[in-house]
Structure 1
Amino acid sequence: MPRSFDLLVVGDANPDVIVGPLATPLAFDQRELLVDSGTMTLGGSAAIAACGAARLGLRVAFAGRVGNDDAGHYVRDRLAARGVDVDALRLDDCLPTPLTVCVTRGEDRAIVTAPGTLSAVSADDVPERLLTSARHVHAASFFLMPRLAAGLADLFRTARDAGASTSLDTNDDPSGRWDTGTLAAVLAHTDVLLPNAREACRLAGLPEGIGQPGLAARALARRVPLVAVKNGADGALCDDGTTVHTTTGIRVTPHDTVGAGDSFDAGFLAARLNDRSAEEALAVAAVCGALSTRHPGGTDAQPTWDEAQAHLAPLGADAS
């Protein structure tokens, strides 16, 4: 049956205010520090992934919630301008749009988020017509939206029953607890898990360190069919429980790394939805993540499909 969308993305969307790079420790006591640049751009893991996938040529819809305020209208307008269908992005009259401030320092960053509507996003914000008319459903920022997390297993089950595949990027857990009780039910209906190396280790209950991302991926691959782990400058790996693929990615001079992991997600999903193998998808994803760092924020430098393909040659991969 024809599908209205290639990809439905469920999760967080907000403005990002990005300042940096910071050359000294962040100071309080009303100290004012000067940095080289500052910008406001579209943020939120789910929103950045949705924009990246649309840039790669997928038909993308977004479901979630923002405030009925200037920031919320900014988010809707930016998503729509990048080709993402926002009919299911609700405007909340009671809660404000989330806001994130990223302070960059070298390749690292500190992230401060005022959650706003994130606490109210729930499974009820996701129309069933979208779940049953998309080829794939992706969710992000699992630990930021507890109400959505509680209903995500049912959403994924409905999508899979309708013939769609599913993926999850949990992102960080601000509480530091990494309670995987609710997550276990979601993973039972998840086809692809997309953590970074630190997240993979925390989700698998393993310490961080050299070689640990691979061990974490293998442990998580016992719970989901395919795990793709982003490992920063060390590239990425994917594991289906039997075979491991790795890529070193490509080298770029990053402006900042905000949203690079979300652009990786977009590349991986776009490649899989274009019938590429897991190995090819990993190469495409690594390229998309790297290229997204060339400009401030997560969306302005996201590549097209043709641009991503052009950068695969140095990797010795053929995903054309």
Structure 2
Amino acid sequence: MATFDLVVVGDANPDVLIAGAPAVPAYGQAETLVEAGSLALGGSAAIVAHGAARLGLSTALVSLVGRDAAGDFVLDALSSAGVDISLVARHEREPTALTVCLGGADGDRAILTSLGCLASFEPPKQLPSSRHVHAAAYFLQPRLAAGLAELFGDARSRGATTSLDTNDDPAGSWKLAPGVLDVCDYLLPNEAEALALTGTSDVRAAMAAFAGATVTPVVKRGRHGATALNSGKTHTVRSTPVVPVDTVGAGDSFDAGFLAGLLSTGDLDLALALGCACGALSTQAAGGTAAQPSWNQAVTYASATTSTAPVATIAHNEEES
């Protein structure tokens, strides 16, 4: 029997969230007043783990933080949500990674990240047994990227399924190591990342580029829902758009909902619907985790707002378990 439902591997850091930032901050030691500021749990992997635990999955995070106040903050936020942090190591010298998100008046944002100890993060060769292994922030962690094919291969040999959300590539190379997609069951990019990974100009072409691969691409499209390609069949779920308060971490919350739906039902359409619901609901407060839903909240929202009618049956399945 698996020790965990989900093991998440990757980045964890505090996010400093600034709302109402000017497009170009004034230098010269000028002090600029902004609309709001807050401190939140950040890092794609940490947000996924936090969201999955909120949805009821037994979840562990494998990551690296420093021996500093930022690391204490990260570990406290994760453990308070029920995430197992026994495999989050602490670097003796390098600081915890830190991200500053500058949110502009037009809804766009700039993301400034100091990698700190993440550049040194190398997960153990073998993870604890689980039903699923998810990796995130591939391009920020070179040692994780170099060993991910082996890590995924080992997890699959012990019965787990696997998924990857590469997130952005600051270097702009968008090259995955050989063999990674061969042992990855689900690839979870947003629309811009899918185009960059495939060198295509639209989602249809990006999906077609994955047609010959064994991986199932799941492309997050924000207000337009999500699309997946599995065994030659396209699956699309559309949801009713919401007015966002803050979109930081919405894609990571989608990942948590998608994986929870997949592990709970095995149905790709229902998983997409739950992913869309979790992504949308997460935008209703500042930061990536403050508005992440519970299982019942996600199911109720998905039933009311997505194009996948059978979502309502998941609540009944939960009551029977």
Q: Note whether the superposition's TM-score is higher than 0.5.
A: yes
Hey, what does 2:230 align to over in structure 1? 240
1:308 aligns with 2:304: no
Q: CA RMSD in A?
A: 1.4
In the TM superposition, residue 161 of structure 1 has moved relative to its aligned partner by 0.2
Moved more, 240-249 or 10-19: 240-249
Counterpart for residue 216 of structure 2: 226
Displacement of 1:22: 2.7
TM-score by length of 1: 0.93
Query: 8 Å contact 1:137–1:164 — kept in the other structure?
Result: yes
The answer to whether the Cα contact below 8 Å between 1:52 and 1:263 also exists between their aligned partners in 2 is yes
Match in the other structure for 1:189: 183
SS in structure 2 of the partner of residue 58 of structure 1: coil
Provide the TM-score with structure 2 as the length reference.
0.93
Mapped to 2, the partners of 1:196 and 1:34 lie a distance apart of 32
Write the deviation string for residues 125-155 of structure 1: whole angstroms up to 9, x where unpaired.
336251xx11000000000000110011110
For residues 217 and 67 of structure 1, what CA distance do their matches in structure 2 show? 39
Q: Distance in 1 between matches of 2:32 and 2:213?
A: 46
Q: Which residue of 1 aligns with 2:60?
A: 61
Percent identity at matched positions? 48
SS of 1:9's equivalent in the other structure is strand
Cα distance change, pair 143–3 in 1 and its aligned pair in 2 (3 A): same
Distance 1:62 1:126 in 2: 12
For 2:31 and 2:244, the matched residues in 1 are separated by 26
Shift of 1:246: 1.6
Gaps of 5+ in 1: none
1:294 counterpart SS class:
coil
1:128 and 2:137 aligned: no
> Is 2:78 aligned against 1:73?
no
Q: Quote the offset at 1:234 in angstroms.
A: 2.0
Is 1:151 the equivalent of 2:147?
A: yes
Q: How many residues align?
A: 309
- Cα distance in 2 for residues equivalent to 1:68 and 1:307: 36
> Shift of residue 86 of structure 1?
0.3
Amino acid at match of 2:196: R
Q: Is the 8 A contact 1:13 1:66 kept in 2?
A: yes
Give the 5 Å matches for 1:1-320: 2-22=1-21, 24-105=23-104, 106-122=106-122, 125-126=123-124, 128-130=126-128, 133-180=129-176, 182=177, 184-207=178-201, 212-312=202-302, 313-317=304-308, 318-319=310-311, 320=314
User: What SS is found at the alignment partner of 1:48?
Assistant: helix
Residue 255 of structure 1 and its aligned partner are, at CA, apart by: 1.2
Q: Is contact 1:250–1:287 with CA below 8 Å preserved after alignment? A: no
Deviation at 1:186, TM superposition (A): 1.0
**SS in structure 2 of the partner of residue 237 of structure 1:** strand
Worse overlay, 222-231 or 191-200? 222-231
Give the CA deviation at 1:169.
0.2
310-319 or 65-74: bigger deviation: 310-319
